[in-house]
Amino acid sequence: MNGASTPTGRDALAAMFARARREGRAAFLPYFPIGYPSVAESLDAIAALAEAGADGFEIGLPFSDPLADGPTIQAATQVALHNGVTVATGLDALRALRSRGVTQPLLLMSYLNPLLAYGLERFARDARSAGAAGVIVPDLPPEEAGSLAEACAREGLALIFFLAPTSSPERIALVAERAQGFIYLVSVTGVTGARDALPPDLEAFIARVRAKTETPLVLGFGISRAAQARELNALVDGFIVGSALVRAAQSGVEAVRDLGATLRRALDEA
């Protein structure tokens, strides 16, 4: 459980990035869905990644129409839905992880509809109480985020917004203005999923955003290999790996731990 000296909410993210910068590397933030293959096994996988050196986590809550997710994560979240996972289950999972000694920042990833059904004010309050540092909502653009942004601000939670290679200068400026915690950069125009190589125009995209903000930039979608982690180390402040870890979970918790350790170790070798 977080002690009095452990940063919480947005402060936990700031401390995470500051520590990674001191160590001369990007932060490693694995994604893993609650409830896949089961709730207990997902908690074991996240705890194993914490032990393997993850800097923070994107904790997925399942939704029936996950428009930003590729086939691997879609299949996993369907299993989680079949296992009865709800927003309340996800909040309980955060509490369980804290009780197991996981101290890294935890960001809840959910689509908007489940949060509306739960109640935005109630969700922000309960998420902070459960130990969340922030919230990632792929289908909530900043123009429509007022109610949740206000609720998160009251609780000291970061509400994370996205930018893609196709984002206009106006959209980049808007997200830069409203960003909290970090900006989630989508590496490709498409859905999540492990890819063999990073896109050739990635550096130019990152530079366009970097020119507009000093907020940390975290890259996601398509990252799966140690070589890619090393390549990203000097480009962004952090990166998210999801599909590759979910696929590893088909072979058990140790496979998840091994891949996480490999990706984290690559940052020290770059």
User: What tokens were used for 269?
Assistant: 């070798």
- Alpha helices (H) in 202-252, listed in sequence order: 202-210, 226-232, 243-248
Burial of 255 (0-12, 13-18, 19+ CB in 10 A): middle
Residues 6+ apart with CB under 8 A from 105: 12, 13, 16, 55, 56, 57, 133, 134
Which residue type sits at 96? Answer: A
- The rounded distance, in Å, linking the Cα atoms of 234 and 165 is 19
* Number of other residues whose CB lies within 10 A of the CB of residue 19: 12
Catalytic residues: 58, 69
Round to the nearest angstrom and report the end-to-end CA distance of the chain: 33
The conformational region for residue 222 under phi > 0 = left, psi -120 to 50 = alpha, else beta, is left
- Note if the bond before 37 is cis, omega within 30 degrees: yes
- Residue 106's DSSP bridge partners are 57
